[in-house]
Chains A and B, each alone.
Chain A
Amino acid sequence: MVPNDLFVLSKDQWSTFLKKTASNYEVIAPKDGPYHLEYERIGEEETDTIVFPGARLTRPLKYFFYPPRENVSRDPSPPDKKRVIFGIKACDLAALSILDNIYLDPDFVDPFYKTRRDNAIIVSDDCTKPLENCFCVLIDGTPFATKNFDLSLSFIEDQVLVELGSEKGKNLLDNAGIDLRKAGEDLLNRRQEQRQAMIEQLKEQNKDFEFSPEKLPELVKEMYDSPMWKEICETCVSCGACSNICPSCHCFLLTYNQSEDKKFEVLRTWDSCQSAGFSRVAGGANPREKLPSLFQNRFQCKIHYKPRNFGVFACTGCGRCNEACQGGIDIRRVLSLVAGEATSKST
């Protein structure tokens, strides 16, 4: 793989970069909120209130590309200013691989998603303090960006290492008018050390969970008929919080508004395969009527169907569903159980 260009910015240069960017673009970045960090619009004068978080925020990146409810019968025109989104972690970027495959599928490009995606510049940064529920390393992920970013940042003491990911990222740097210095070997090594330390930490905090990514799709597939799902989903109340908060869940419902002047005013609203009527047809038949098959669908989709169709897991190991689940269901535990059960079945 050809290494991307790596530059180093001093503390002052970084400050200038943020200010210039906030004046030329619409900047969205994490800021302290009443309960936790939240993405906010950052004005030119406020760039020093930006907080670069140790791990991912609660809100997934997908909010910025297709909102929970949208009128899709209007004209998807581009915004006045391009948008720069800071504070994005590798797990959200991994989910973009799934979302882009779905919404930018060349047969049917979603013009609303595409317009937002084309006009957004994504700036990722390395994780420095994984959350209790993070487990990206168990599922082919890393606590630092390797794809789908425009710029990727590593904070090393008071210097900022910037990796270029795309033309958009390059333009962003150029527009800030800073003298760019290439990063030296020493800084690259420090970055590598910091990253490796995070990987070790994540492995350590997840040592009780046993599954390896390579075998997972086959193992989950074997579990189609397993009675084990019934036990696992005992505490599930089908609230759909997991789909809502998941960075790669993409399902929606098209409905028609009652409109005075338009015949076809179409709304696209987020939906979840966990809702009872998701696959019910007008005649009344419902293939996934009972909870175990309903519950199971999300895991089959993320760990078996999506890797089969797109070559990547649709679970990125971000752990948000663990935090959101009303029934205390931990996806790591589910995957461990599934892997264990399938393996013991075949031996």
Chain B
Amino acid sequence: MKNIYMPVEAGITGVITESATIKTFRLKPAEKIPFATGQFIELAVPNLGEAPFTPSSSPDVTDRMDVTIMNVGVVTDKLHEMKEGDIVGIRGPYGKGYPVEDMYGKEVLILGGGVGMAPLRSFLLTLLARAEKFRKIILCYGAKTPEDIIYKDQFVEWMNNPNLSVYRSVDKAGEGWNETEGVVTVLLDQFEVDLSNSVAVVCGPPVMMKFGTLKLLEKGHKPENIYLSMEKNMSCGLGKCGHCQLGPYFVCKDGPVFTYDQIQDIPGIWD
């Protein structure tokens, strides 16, 4: 019988500094771990603990897994000290990812904030690899300041990709920023989507997800077409320990990707 609590070992093969508080770790697990975009893993730091992350690499790339991590607590603090060659553990993948095939033929609007771009990068790369299947792909991304933008090099590629429209904003611009200044929701006023044939995919800090969703609804997007990555305090990732309970759902099993209509009646979803 498989032991569902034991991680698979993975070596760190690269560390990329994205911003002052965010790093991307390239991982090579001891055995291949296929995943669907939007699923998450429990990343284990030896002798310390685990934390849940959604891989930021495309599932089409099978010989490595990237995780983009912000330093906020005990586990992530230790992770940020780790280097190439160090060993971590991976359990997973868990949960329901983004239903990419349901989005074929549609316009896909991606709304990301801060480190919320991590799962969205995996999703975006998945879309771009089969861009002809989607009517349009639009990426709106917001960060606090230009320094806080992650995947800076990749954004240059994305902004030159004919299959993708990119809109960016920062809360506080400073010198040299010639794109939008303001919260990311202001970007939604800069273009039109075909509301009868589109989906919106949102990920970022809770307050950004709340106002992003509200703005999307205001603009006419339907609740069943708004996809949210509801990250919660996970412990087991297996639908057993109760920590990630969101109303009647376990985010680790029934999510982390939910449509807004599934969760709109549950109190406290944006806390």
Bound-complex Cα distance A280 to B74 (A):
13
* B170 interfacial by beta-carbon distance below 8 Å: no
B3 touches A279 (CB 8 A): no
A116 to chain B, nearest CB (A): 12
Do A259 and B47 form a contact, CB below 8 Å, given A102-B240, A305-B247? Answer: yes
B51 touches A253 (CB 8 A): no
* B61 interfacial by beta-carbon distance below 8 Å: no
Do A73 and B47 form a contact, CB below 8 Å, given A252-B235, A254-B235, A301-B245? Answer: no
B120 to chain A, nearest CB (A): 18
- Chain B residue numbers with a CB within 8 Å of A76 are 1, 3
- Chain B residue numbers with a CB within 8 Å of A252 are 235-236, 240-242
- Chain A residue numbers with a CB within 8 Å of B48 are 256
Q: Most chain-A CB neighbours within 10 Å: which of B45, B233, B265?
A: B233
A111 touches B271 (CB 8 A): no
* B105 interfacial by beta-carbon distance below 8 Å: no
B3 touches A251 (CB 8 A): no
- Chain B residue numbers with a CB within 8 Å of A255 are 49
* B128 interfacial by beta-carbon distance below 8 Å: no
Q: Mark B113-124, 1 if CB is under 8 A from A, else 0.
A: 000000000000
* B106 interfacial by beta-carbon distance below 8 Å: no
Please choose the segment from B4-12, B137-145, B189-197, B221-229 that sits at the chain A interface, where 4 or more of its residues have CB less than 8 A away. B4-12
* B162 interfacial by beta-carbon distance below 8 Å: no
Q: Is the interface of B mostly helix, strand, loop or mixed?
A: loop
B53 to chain A, nearest CB (A): 11
Q: How many positions in chain A have a CB within 8 Å of any CB in the partner chain? A: 52
B47 touches A109 (CB 8 A): no
Bound-complex Cα distance A282 to B80 (A):
15
* A308 interfacial by beta-carbon distance below 8 Å: yes
For window 90-104 of chain A, which residues contact chain B by CB distance below 8 Å? 102-103
Which residue of A253, A263, A287, A289 is within 8 Å of B46 (Cβ)? A263
For window 1-51 of chain B, which residues contact chain A by CB distance below 8 Å? 1-7, 9, 44-51
Which B residues are within 8 Å of any A CB, using their own CB?
A: 1-7, 9, 44-51, 72-76, 87, 89, 206, 231-233, 235-236, 238-245, 247-248, 253, 265-269, 271
Q: List 8 A-B contacts (CB under 8 A).
A: A72-B5, A105-B239, A108-B240, A111-B2, A250-B240, A252-B235, A282-B74, A293-B268
Given contacts A224-B267, A271-B241, 17 further A-B contacts (CB under 8 A): A73-B6, A108-B240, A109-B4, A111-B2, A114-B1, A252-B235, A254-B235, A255-B49, A257-B47, A264-B44, A278-B242, A278-B243, A279-B244, A282-B72, A287-B232, A293-B267, A297-B245
